[in-house]
Amino acid sequence: MIRFRRPLRCLWDFFRKELAEVLIPQKKIKDRVATLGAAISEDYAGKDLVIVCVLSGAFMFLADLVRHIYVHHEIYFMAASSYGDSTKSSGVVRLLLDLEANIEGRDVLIVEDIVDTGRTLDYIIRILKARNPASLRVCVLLDKRERREVDVPLGYVGFEIADRFVIGYGLDLAERYRNLPFVAVSKEESSD
């Protein structure tokens, strides 16, 4: 029989030279995501929820979060981009993929990985509000509050973090590192 090495060990061995530190370990994310899912389930009890995942960064958070949501819901995707391949926001948000659903009169929850300047969420909230949902809230995993330029209302927040360039758990640096099961700081942070 083929013997496999422990998966997380292999992943860590592969990436460790590129990471400055693990900021939020896997277990802490897992516990917090479960708590968020339970809170959402209680708040939307008896309702039929529409979840809008903002690609690409929120894909992993969404996948874990919905496993803890025990109200009926539909899942749709939107894609917006503001960063390009840089570690700093370009400040210009582009809609890359629109929602394939009519949200008029529906309870909508936006799931996002991180709020930095707030421009992406502000843009998406404005688009969705114009479609007259019954309610619109945001669930975000990471809140980089000190970087905020546009005020955005956050219904559910996983973690408030300092102004560091974070990768992993869906977040990328030039499209890499999204697969890391934890949130880390890249060694490249200091080079921007």
Among 19, 111, 117, 182, binds ligand PRP (CB under 6 A): 117
Q: Is 142 a residue that touches ligand PRP (CB under 6 A)?
A: no
The window from 19-27, 31-39, 82-90, 179-187 that contacts ligand PRP (CB under 6 A) reads: 82-90
Determine, following the binding rule CB under 6 A, whether residue 57 of this chain makes contact with ligand PRP.
Answer: yes
CA distance 184 to 171: 9
58 φ, ψ (degrees, to nearest 5): -90, 5
Out of 113, 133, 143, 183, the residue judged to bind ligand PRP by CB under 6 A: 113
Site string for ligand PRP, 13-52 (x = CB under 6 A): ----------------------------------------
Q: Please list, residue by residue across 83-93, b when 16 or more beta carbons sit within 10 angstroms of its beta carbon and e when fewer do.
A: beeeeebeeeb
Q: Which is nearer to ligand PRP, 44 or 165 (CB)?
A: 165
Active site residue 116: yes
Among 111, 119, 133, 169, binds ligand PRP (CB under 6 A): 119
Q: With CB under 6 A, what is the number of residues at the site for ligand PRP?
A: 17
- Among residues 107, 116, 143, 172, the one annotated as catalytic is 116
Give 83-91's long-range contacts (Cβ < 8 A, gap of 24+).
85/174, 85/175, 86/192, 87/165, 87/173, 87/188, 87/189, 87/192, 88/192, 89/116, 89/117, 89/119, 91/117, 91/119
For residue 137, CA distances in Å to 108, 153, 165 come to 6, 8, 25
- 143: contact with ligand PRP by CB under 6 A: no
Burial (CB count within 10 angstroms: exposed 0-12, middle 13-18, buried 19+), residue 126: exposed
Minimal distance, residue 159 CB to ligand PRP, in Å: 15
Given the structure tokens 């819901």, which residue do they identify?
Answer: 73
186 binds ligand PRP (CB under 6 A): no
**Residues designated catalytic:** 116
Residues of this chain that bind ligand PRP (CB under 6 A): 54, 56-57, 81-83, 89, 112-120, 172
